[in-house]
């Protein structure tokens, strides 16, 4: 993977993530009257924005921490702390997003947790909470044995990608549900594809493209921390100089301590 390609991909991904959030803010601001925290429908409007920002964009950024070449050398501990802290921030935004919708439902006497979207969403958030606490307890706190870490690592990796996929399904079903709720009058039905529908559908597609890129990078071996002792072309990235080629000495390097398994 060329250095230039790495920086281009990182820039593209950051821009896409930012666009996902901005599009959601613009949708709620322009077609639904903006934001408040008083239990009214404007409180609901915080829900999509906080969910996209927390469960999709920040969650993805936290998941991709180990794909940064800076994290490939030296101790893993600082990167584990960054990984856990970003996930915690994503979780806080997610919980606030749920508080917004429950607050609105209770204020407006709307039943809670009746739709497929809400079942999928609450399951996703529950799995995210379990994943964070288990990851923190096993991989960050020092008590766990090498055996336990080795056992749990593939499970942690599998659930990391699965939770992002479930978050995308939640976002898509949420967008769809909101459009069916809002565009049901005779003058601008969803089927006539009014401006709001075009914009919200596009926001959903943007979120899907962003998440697919994140999932690709998460599984692609060329983006992964090189195994200890294996020196490849990817070591070029460790120089972190985007434009000037600098001579490289191919010396096997020890990446991380033997007990640092992820
Ligand atoms: C990962 C992202 C998301 C998760 C985990 C999620 C989760 C939830 C949950 C658990 C509820 C039920 C609240 C209650 O019953 O009081 C809910 C409601 C709702 N959400 Fe989301 N949501 C997400 C994203 C979105 C997005 C992007 C939209 C787009 C506008 C949206 C629209 C709605 C709507 C319209 C409701 C109210 C109707 C219902 O209860 O299904 N959600 N969401």
Closest ligand 1 atom, residue 28 Cα: 30
- The mean of the pLDDT values for the chain is 89
User: How much of the chain, in percent, has pLDDT values that exceed 70?
Assistant: 85
Q: Tell me, using a 6 A CB cutoff, whether residue 183 lines ligand 1.
A: no
Q: Where exactly are the structural domains of the chain?
A: 9-239
Q: Which residues of the chain have pLDDT under 50?
A: 246, 251, 253-262
Q: What is the pLDDT of residue 245?
A: 53
Report the residue among 27, 95, 112, 121 best suited for mutation to probe ligand 1: largest number of ligand atoms under 8 A from its CB. 121
Q: Whose CA is nearest to atom 20 of ligand 1?
A: 174
Q: Using the mean position of ligand 1's atoms as its centre, give its distance from the Cα of residue 115 in Å.
A: 9
Q: Whose CA is nearest to atom 4 of ligand 1?
A: 121
Second CATH level (architecture) for the domain 9-239: Up-down Bundle (1.20)
Q: Tell me, using a 6 A CB cutoff, whether residue 45 lines ligand 1.
A: no
Q: What is the pLDDT of residue 255?
A: 47
Q: Tell me, using a 6 A CB cutoff, whether residue 105 lines ligand 1.
A: yes
Q: What is the pLDDT of residue 244?
A: 52
Q: What is the 3-state secondary structure (H, E, C) of the chain?
A: CCHHHHHHHHHHHHHHHHHHHHHHHHHHHHHHCCCCCCCCHHHHCHHHHHHHHHHHHHHHHHHHHHHCHHHHCCCCHHHHHHHHHHHHHHHHHHHHHHHHHHHHHHHCCCCCCCCHHHHHHHHHHHHHHHHHHHHHHHHHCCCCCHHHHHHHHHHHHHHHHHHHHHHHHHHHHHHHHHHHHHCCCCCCCHHHCCHHHHHHHHHHHHHHHHHHHHHHHHHCHHHCCCCCCCCCHHHHHHHCCCCCCCCCCCCCCCCCCCCCCC
User: 103-159: per-residue pLDDT in tens?
Assistant: 999 999 999 999 999 999 999 999 999 999 999 999 999 999 999 999 999 999 999
Q: What is the pLDDT of residue 262?
A: 45
Q: What is the pLDDT of residue 226?
A: 76
Q: What is the pLDDT of residue 169?
A: 98
Q: What is the pLDDT of residue 6?
A: 80
């Amino acid at each position: 993977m060329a250095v230039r390609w790495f920086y281009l991909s990182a820039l593209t991904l950051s821009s896409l993530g930012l666009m996902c959030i901005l599009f959601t803010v613009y949708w709620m601001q322009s077609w639904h009257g903006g934001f408040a925290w008083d239990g009214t429908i404007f409180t609901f409007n915080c829900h999509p924005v906080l969910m996209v920002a927390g469960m999709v964009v920040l969650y993805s950024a936290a998941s991709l921490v180990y794909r940064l070449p800076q994290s490939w050398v030296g101790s893993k501990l600082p990167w584990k702390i960054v990984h856990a802290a970003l996930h915690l921030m994503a979780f806080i935004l997610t919980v606030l997003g749920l508080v917004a919708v429950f607050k609105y439902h209770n204020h407006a006497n709307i039943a809670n947790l009746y739709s497929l979207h809400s079942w999928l969403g609450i399951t996703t958030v529950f799995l995210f909470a379990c994943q964070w606490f288990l990851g923190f307890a096993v991989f960050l706190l020092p008590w766990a044995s090498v055996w336990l870490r080795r056992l749990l690592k593939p499970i942690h990796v599998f659930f990391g990608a699965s939770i992002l996929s479930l978050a995308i399904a939640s976002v898509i079903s949420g967008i769809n549900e909101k459009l069916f709720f809002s565009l049901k009058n005779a003058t601008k039905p969803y089927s006539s594809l009014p401006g709001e529908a075009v914009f919200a559908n596009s926001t959903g597609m943007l979120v899907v493209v962003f998440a697919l890129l994140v999932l690709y990078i998460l599984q692609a071996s060329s983006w992964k921390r090189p195994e200890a002792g294996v020196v490849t072309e990817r070591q070029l990235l460790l120089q972190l100089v985007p434009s000037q080629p600098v001579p490289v000495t191919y010396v096997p390097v020890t990446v991380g301590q033997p007990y640092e398994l992820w």
